[in-house]
Amino acid sequence: MTDALVLIDPAASTVEVSDLGAPHLPVTDLSAHRGDGIFETVLVRLGGSDVTVVNRNRHFTRFCSSASALGLPEPDPDLWDRALETVIAEVRAADPSSTEFGVRYALSRGTQNPDGSQSPRGWAFNVPVDDTITRARAQGISAVSLDRGYDAYLGSKAPWLLIGAKTLSYAVNQAAGRYAAEQGADEALFVSHDGIVLEGPTSNLIIRRGDRLLTPAPEAGLLSGTTQRLVFDHAAELGLTAEYADFGLSEVIDADGAWYVSSMRTAVTLNQLDGNPIKRDEDLTARLQTLIMAG
Ligand code: PLP
């Protein structure tokens, strides 16, 4: 797959096409050694002249609320739109047969200047829908539950934890993924210290119980997902209702179907949790994937 990168200067309001293989970030950038920044990953679907940026507005809205949570300057919609469009145009020009890819855009606090001010910088580049994702979409995944280390609903009492902001500090999420792999599972499932199911390291969980879709409330201590919101907004079209609810691991295992949902995965079946099989709902998986890909 072709690589496309744009560098974004929020102060100058410019985007510049650059070479992904070249060095760009000073090691003093606060994203590099503090993870101090925010990002989004959006799915782009191409068909003929049609371009669908799935959940474009939901992503940008979350990007702005993450910026606010970290005290970063409010992102300018025109600037970030231009960046996104430039990456999409670069990929399409280099590979007209491309049908699907992701675009990751990020805003770093940037480098600390000698006078104490900071110079935020941004970038956007394309990421592939790789074999792991296509396999998960087709076959589903297994997960092991992991203690997230805090009680549910802690976020409002401890805003400095930035629970619910999509920051560049993903070392814990990456470590959870490695830990799950060491246990022979595809994914981790975070559970609050007091036993409430939260989310995967890079996805939300939706379960079906009868004609109800359930997902943990973002306030319980997780990232509010754009994909989960899209599904909930269209639940009636699937003949289902949608509710936020607290539930534990046994409710996931006993569900009539369970899915990991995220921008790049769309919806993938959770086949097994902690070695326990979960009912598969192939029909709803297909309908969820179609619904999400339509954006
Ligand atoms: N939860 C976390 C921690 C994530 O990193 C992500 C995706 O990046 C999600 C949930 C799912 O969010 P979305 O559907 O917006 O991709």
Count: domains in the chain: 2
Whole-number Å distance, alpha carbon 169 to ligand 1 midpoint, is 13
pLDDT in tens, 196-213: 999 999 999 999 999 999
pLDDT in tens, 68-80: 999 999 999 999 9
- List the CATH number of the domain containing 98: 3.30.470.10
For 132-189, the DSSP string reads HHHHHHHH-EEEEEEE-SS-TT-GGG-GGG-TTS-BS--HHHHHHHHHHHHTT-SEEE
Residue list, ligand 1 pocket, CB within 6 Å: 41, 199, 201-204, 223, 225-228, 261-263
Distance CA 64, CA 59 (A): 9
Q: How confident is the model at residue 295 (pLDDT cuts 50, 70, 90)?
A: confident
My answer on whether 102 and 235 are in the same domain is no
My answer on whether 114 and 180 are in the same domain is no
Dihedral pair phi/psi, residue 2, rounded to 5°:
-70, 150
Question: For residue 59, which atom of ligand 1 is closest to its CA?
Answer: 15
Q: Up-side HSE of residue 120: CA atoms within 13 Å toward CB?
A: 21
Whole-number Å distance, alpha carbon 262 to ligand 1 midpoint, is 5
**End of a domain among 129, 161, 181?**
129
pLDDT in tens, 94-131: 999 999 999 999 999 999 889 989 999 999 999 999 99
My answer on whether 115 and 138 are in the same domain is no
Lowest mean pLDDT among 18-22, 37-41, 55-59, 173-177: 18-22
Question: For residue 40, which atom of ligand 1 is closest to its CA?
Answer: 8
My answer on whether 27 and 109 are in the same domain is yes
My answer on whether 253 and 158 are in the same domain is yes
**End of a domain among 85, 108, 129?**
129
Distance CA 295, CA 289 (A): 10
Whole-number Å distance, alpha carbon 186 to ligand 1 midpoint, is 16
**Nearest residue to 118 (alpha-carbon basis) of 20, 181, 26, 43:** 26
* Contact in structure between 128 and 121 (CB atoms under 8 Å): no
Q: How confident is the model at residue 250 (pLDDT cuts 50, 70, 90)?
A: very high
My answer on whether 16 and 121 are in the same domain is yes
- List the CATH number of the domain containing 180: 3.20.10.10
Helix (H) or strand (E) holding 287: helix 282-293
Instruction: Quote the tokens at residue 103.
Output: 């675009």
Mutate to test the pocket of ligand 1, among 129, 173, 189, 202 (most ligand atoms within 8 A of CB): 202
Q: How confident is the model at residue 10 (pLDDT cuts 50, 70, 90)?
A: very high
Residue 193 lies in domain: 134-293
Among protein residues, the one whose CA lies closest to atom 4 of ligand 1:
202
In eight-state DSSP terms, residue 54 is: T
Distance CA 292, CA 174 (A): 25
- Please report, in angstroms and rounded to a whole number, the separation of the first and last CA atoms in the chain: 23
My answer on whether 195 and 286 are in the same domain is yes
Whole-number Å distance, alpha carbon 93 to ligand 1 midpoint, is 29
My answer on whether 259 and 119 are in the same domain is no
Whether the predicted pLDDT of 153 surpasses 80: yes
At residue 48, the pLDDT reads: 79
